[in-house]
């Protein structure tokens, strides 16, 4: 079995204003397989993993609500 990953950390080449970084984040969101993009600053890998877990939980809840309430 091959190794798997649930999240990627992107580091920009320089500091950007938040509104400029938002355009970059929106472009990344358009890539297939991207669930969420955040402009938050993470201080350690554990914090990033916790963020990823919350995003996946949120996705699961929305999927189940969609199944429950239908189209």
Contact 16, 24 (CB under 8 A): yes
Question: Which tens digits make up the pLDDT trace of 1-60?
Answer: 888 888 787 878 888 888 888 999 999 999 999 988 877 766 666 677 787 788 888 888
> Is 64 a domain residue?
yes
Instruction: Give the pLDDT of residue 42.
Output: 65
Question: Which contiguous run of DSSP H or E holds residue 64?
Answer: helix 45-69
Tell me if 13 is assigned to some domain.
Answer: no
What is the domain extent for residue 33? Answer: 18-69
Q: What is the pLDDT of residue 53?
A: 82
Tell me how far apart the alpha carbons of residues 48 and 54 are, in angstroms, rounded to a whole number: 10
User: For residue 55, what is the DSSP state?
Assistant: H
Looking at the domain assignment, is residue 1 inside a domain?
no
Considering the domain boundaries, does residue 42 fall inside one?
yes
Q: How many domains in the chain?
A: 1
For the four alpha carbons of 18, 19, 22 and 27, in that order, the dihedral sign comes to negative
Indicate whether 41 belongs to any domain.
yes
Q: Is residue 8 part of a domain?
A: no
Residue 38 lies in a domain: yes
Whether this prediction's pTM lies above 0.75 is answered by no
């Amino acid at each position: 079995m091959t190794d798997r990953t649930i999240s990627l950390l992107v580091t920009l080449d320089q500091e950007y204003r938040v509104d400029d970084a938002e355009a970059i984040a929106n472009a990344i969101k358009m890539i297939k397989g991207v669930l969420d993009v955040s402009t938050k600053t993470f201080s350690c890998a554990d914090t990033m993993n916790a963020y990823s877990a919350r995003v996946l939980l949120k996705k699961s809840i929305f999927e189940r609500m969609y199944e429950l309430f239908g189209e």
